[in-house]
Amino acid sequence: MTILFLFPHLIQPGGASNTLFKMARGLTERGFTVKILCANASEKIRIENSDLVIEELKIPNSNSMLYWIFFLFWQIKINHEIKKNTGAILIPSVLPSNWWAWLYAITNKKVNIIWCCHEPSAFIHSSEWINAIPNIVVRTSAKLVRPIFRALDLYLERRSSNVFCNSEFCKTLYEKTYKRDASAVIYPFIDIKQHTPINLKKEYFFTVSRLSKFKNIDRLIIAFKDITLNHPNFKLIIAGKGEEKGNLMRLSKALNLEDKIEFTGIVDDQTLRELYENALATVICSEYEPFGLVPVESMMYSTPVISHNSGGPMETVLPDKTGYLYNDMPMLIKNMNSIIEISKSGYQKMQLECVLQASKFDSLHSLEKLIDLIIKTSKV
C-alpha cells in the first residue's frame, strides 16, 4: 500500500514536520511505500531525512503572496504530481496541504484521504490569528478573503475519508468547527527514550518554542522578574527563534534581566536534551495548544512542567505529580516558587512520575492506531 503525505513546505524544523517524519519512518518500517510531497524542502532537512522519499513541487511557499495569487495554477501542478501515485492514500496535514488533497478529490472521487488535523486552520477560523499578522497588507487581505476561505474550507473538508486529531482538545475543536465526528485521536509521534532521572538540577527555568506573540514568552519573562526577587541566582533559558525575539530582548533589558536570561536561538538535539534534563522545570505559557510536544519531551527527561491550564497540556501534565497547571499570572509565579521550594524527596518523586507519564505517549502506540485507521480507510 502506498501512502502519500502532503505537507506545505519543509524549510525549518518544527513539531508538525517532526511528527510527519516519524509517521513516515514508522509506516516504512512496517512495509508501506511512503512518499512526502511538499512545495519545497531545505537542503539541511533533505540531508537529515535522506532515508525518506521527499518530492518537491518547486512552487512558492504558502507564506508568499505569489502562492495565493496564482493558487489555481499551482493546484493544477499539484494535481498532476498526486495523480502519478495512483491508488495511494493521501495524508495531508496543515494548510494548505489539506486543500491540495481536497481539491484533487473533486475530480478524482475514488481517492482516499486521511486528514492529520493538528487544529482547524487558524488563519481561516481564528480572527485572533489574523489580527496578529504583522504585515498590514497581508493582514488586511486575510480579513477580506476570510469569509470566502471559511466557507470553502468547510465545503472542501467533506472530501476527507477519515480524520484523526492530535489530542482530545483538538478533536473538540475539529468537531465544533466542521460539525463532524473525528475518526480517532492519535497523539504526535514521540520516540520516548529510557531515561534515568538526574536528581541534581541546575538553578534555571527553561522554555523552548517559536518566539511569536501566541507563545506568550513575555508573560514568562515578567513572572521570572518576580522570581528573582527571592531567588537572585536563578536564570531563565529561552530556546527558539521568531519575530518576537527583539521585543523579548528589549523587555528583558527593561526589567534589568539581561544577565539572568539567555536566548539560545535554535539548538541541536543534543543541546536540547541537556537543556531539558538540567532545568529545574520547563515552563509553557502559550494557551490552548492543540497538543504540545514540549511537555512530553520535558517529562521524558524527568523535568517537571509548568503549563497554562488549557489545551493539550491538560491531557499530558498531571497536576502536583508531573508539574503544575496555572490559570493566571499570580498562579504561575506561585507554581514557579513551589518547584524551587519543594523538598528533595518530593522533587525526586515528581521526576519519577514524569518519566512514567511520558512513556504513555510513545510513538509505538500512535503507529498502531494510525495503521488501523489506514486499513479501515483502504476498505472504504
The residue extents of the domains of the chain are 2-191+363-378, 204-359
Please answer whether residues 295 and 307 qualify as being in contact, where contact means their C-beta atoms are separated by less than 8 angstroms.
yes
Could you report the per-residue pLDDT of 59-113, keeping only the tens digit for each? 999 888 899 899 999 999 999 999 999 899 999 999 999 999 999 999 999 999 9
For residue 352, the model assigns a pLDDT of 94
Collect contacts of 169-178 with beta carbons under 8 A, ≥24 apart.
Answer: 169/288, 169/290, 169/291, 169/310, 169/311, 169/312, 169/314, 169/315, 170/117, 170/118, 170/119, 170/290, 170/291, 170/312, 173/119, 173/120, 173/290, 174/117, 174/119, 174/120, 177/120, 177/125, 178/120, 178/154
pTM: 0.84
Rounded to whole angstroms, what are the CA distances from 131 to 278, 289, 303? Answer: 37, 18, 35
For residue 192, the model assigns a pLDDT of 85
Which residue type sits at 337?
N
Q: How far apart are CA 365 and CA 350, in angstroms?
A: 24
Q: Is the peptide bond before 96 cis (omega within 30 degrees of 0)?
A: yes
CATH class of 204-359: alpha beta
For residue 129, the model assigns a pLDDT of 67
Q: Which stretches within the chain are classed as H helix?
A: 15-29, 43-48, 65-69, 71-83, 97-107, 122-125, 127-131, 136-156, 168-178, 217-230, 245-254, 269-278, 293-300, 313-316, 329-341, 344-359, 363-378
Which residue type sits at 38?
C
For residue 39, the model assigns a pLDDT of 97
CB atoms within 10 A of CB 180: 13
The listed CATH number (3.30.70.360, 3.40.50.300, 2.40.240.10, 3.40.50.2000) that belongs to domain 2-191+363-378: 3.40.50.2000
Q: How far apart are CA 76 and CA 90, in angstroms?
A: 17
For cell 496543515, what's the residue? 94
Q: Which of 210, 288, 179, 250 is closest to 14 using CA atoms?
A: 210
Rounded to whole angstroms, what are the CA distances from 130 to 5, 64, 302, 333? Answer: 27, 15, 37, 30
For cell 498531571, what's the residue? 318
Whether 204-359 and 2-191+363-378 are alike in CATH topology: the answer is yes
For residue 123, the model assigns a pLDDT of 67
Question: How, if at all, do strands 305-308 and 281-284 pair?
Answer: parallel
Residue ranges in the chain whose pLDDT is less than 50: none
What secondary structure does DSSP assign to 184-202, as a single string? EE-PPPB-PPP-----S--
Q: How far apart are CA 151 and CA 172, in angstroms?
A: 20
Cα-to-chain-centroid distance, residue 371: 21
Strand order across the beta sheet in which 323-326 lies: 261-265, 235-239, 204-208, 281-284, 305-308, 323-326
Q: How far apart are CA 198 and CA 276, in angstroms?
A: 11
